[in-house]
Amino acid sequence: MLQFPKDFLWGAATSAPQSEGAASKDGKSPTTWDKWFEMEPELFYDQVGPENTSNVYALYKEEVANMKAMKLNSYRTSIAWARLLPDGKTLNPKAVTFYRSYFQELVANGIEPIINLFHFDMPWWLMEKGGWEVRESTDHFANYASVAFEQFGDIVKKWVTFNEPLVHIECGYYGDAHWPKVRDFKRALQVGYHTMLAHAKAVEAFRLSRYNDGKIGIILNLSPVYPKSDSQEDVEAAKWADHIYIRSFLDCAVKGYFSEEFVQKLKASDLSPETNEGDKTIFKNNTVDFIGCNYYQPLRVQAVSEEKKVETINGPHDLFQGYDWPQKRVNPHRGWEIYPRGIYDIAMRLKNDYEEIPWYISENGMGVSQEESFEDADGIIQDDYRITFIQDHLEELHRAISEGANCFGYHLWTFSDCWSWLNAFKNRYGFYRVDLANDYKRTPKKSSFWMSEVIERNGFEK
């Protein structure tokens, strides 16, 4: 029997833009997702946009009742900035009523809310000013954070500033999966710098708020980096990948500074972001209480080939390149490697290099397309693959905890199937099936019954 620590948080995660729906209702202003869908609906799977996510705005009471039936003791979602402060300044009373009622419903049912402030959903009014590229965004965010702490801090005791800041930076400024689809490493670094500054300013606002008896953290996608081989070149490539994808966020959030080696590396290639005097103090004074770790897959890298080596760098591709490990186990629906051991490795890293900071698995999960084909005669999806996936990861997590990892919970992505950006409802991740053709009807999957037993026993038989 693998037994988890007392008071372990068992739950699931989603975000406002992926679950609420009602994207243009009750005073919410548009985000980049709403505008982008208006402009290029054909880019979204089956042309399903952010208006039609899993309708939690209307169904939250039913949703919470299902969580309670499953015995969850915690749940993470986010507040939509554009709903709470539609123009960045004016408080929307309908948003306050909705979020207070939603969060109270969770608490009243024994489910601790963990509330995030930004999950890729940049308000359009701020995007028009330049989004995270402009320094003023950091003050707008800090103001929004203060309003959220003031309005909901009596109910919410665990806060998160950002979900996976790497993703809006990389996909929006070094790729084309997020608006504004720019490909410019220098601009990406500026966006990253402002994001982390906005984060630190929000932590500061929390410490100064009336309800600062809670805890505040940040959620990072911590994909452990593995070099192709032990050669000096591959190990060096992995070191830089780790600097970019992990340390630039984790060092800053937990230790309050960026690694000097990385700062110098950027400087040598004229890539340093613009900073102000005093920023270093803001970072130093506003470190987090905990880390949320989203873990889906590792990052495997190798050195760039000899002929591609350059003196000054233009992007991550000049420092390392991806490596396709031939023995990898894959989720064919999403194309992501399945490597449960990664959880153990990242857990040990947090224990050994980050002062044993408290942390939890804030997302882990498996997206599967055409899941209806796994339905049995009673209409229950037999998602044994998900049970195996969760169990394999929990075994590695348990091993890490028994070796001293300071992990306080495990959340699956997600509770009810939700909308997934450009992929919309292609891949389903939930414990509950959502039937889009039938008024968003929820049906528990086999994994929800399995998990419910795990929660009840606070562990499982190996």
Q: Is 38 a catalytic residue?
A: no
> In angstroms, what is the minimal distance from the CB of 363 to ligand BGP?
6
Q: Which residue has the tokens 């591709």?
A: 317
Asked if 369 interacts with ligand BGP (CB under 6 A), we say no
Q: Which residues pair with 409 in a beta bridge?
A: 9
The DSSP secondary-structure symbol of 416 reads B
Structure tokens at 427: 């891949």
Dmax (CA) of the chain: 65
Q: Which of 73, 143, 275, 423 binds ligand BGP (CB under 6 A)?
A: 423
> In angstroms, what is the minimal distance from the CB of 243 to ligand BGP?
20
Q: Which of 161, 286, 420, 448 binds ligand BGP (CB under 6 A)?
A: 420
Phi-psi region of 90 (alpha: psi -120 to 50; beta: other; left: phi over 0): beta
For ligand BGP, the binding residues in 7-26 under the rule CB under 6 A are 15, 18
Q: Which 3 state secondary structure label does DSSP give 328?
A: coil
Contact 53, 14 (CB under 8 A): no
Asked if 295 interacts with ligand BGP (CB under 6 A), we say no
Query: Considering only CA atoms, which of 390, 393, 430 is closest in space to residue 414?
Result: 430
Asked if 413 interacts with ligand BGP (CB under 6 A), we say yes
Give the interface segment with ligand BGP, choosing from 127-135, 307-315, 400-408, 421-429 (CB under 6 A): 421-429
The DSSP secondary-structure symbol of 252 reads I
The DSSP secondary-structure symbol of 88 reads S
Binding mask 132-171 for ligand BGP (x = CB under 6 A): -------------------------------xx--x----
Q: Is 277 a catalytic residue?
A: no
Query: Considering only CA atoms, which of 353, 345, 352 is closest in space to residue 227?
Result: 345
Contact 114, 158 (CB under 8 A): yes
Give the interface segment with ligand BGP, choosing from 62-70, 91-99, 266-274, 415-423 (CB under 6 A): 415-423
Asked if 452 interacts with ligand BGP (CB under 6 A), we say no
Residue 161 or 420 having the CB closest to ligand BGP: 420
Q: What is the spatial distance between Cα 172 and Cα 31, in angstroms, rounded to a whole number? A: 14
Give the interface segment with ligand BGP, choosing from 49-57, 91-99, 271-279, 416-424 (CB under 6 A): 416-424
Catalytic residue among 20, 105, 133, 164: 164
Asked if 287 interacts with ligand BGP (CB under 6 A), we say no
Asked if 362 interacts with ligand BGP (CB under 6 A), we say no
> In angstroms, what is the minimal distance from the CB of 276 to ligand BGP?
30
In sequence order, the 6+-apart residues with CB closer than 8 A to the CB of 196 are: 165, 248, 249, 252, 253, 283
In sequence order, the 6+-apart residues with CB closer than 8 A to the CB of 43 are: 36, 422
Q: Which 3 state secondary structure label does DSSP give 56?
A: helix
Asked if 415 interacts with ligand BGP (CB under 6 A), we say no
Asked if 386 interacts with ligand BGP (CB under 6 A), we say no
Q: Which residues have a catalytic role annotated?
A: 164, 363
Task: Point out which residues bind ligand BGP (CB under 6 A).
Answer: 15, 18, 163-164, 167, 221, 294, 334, 363, 367, 413, 420-421, 423, 427
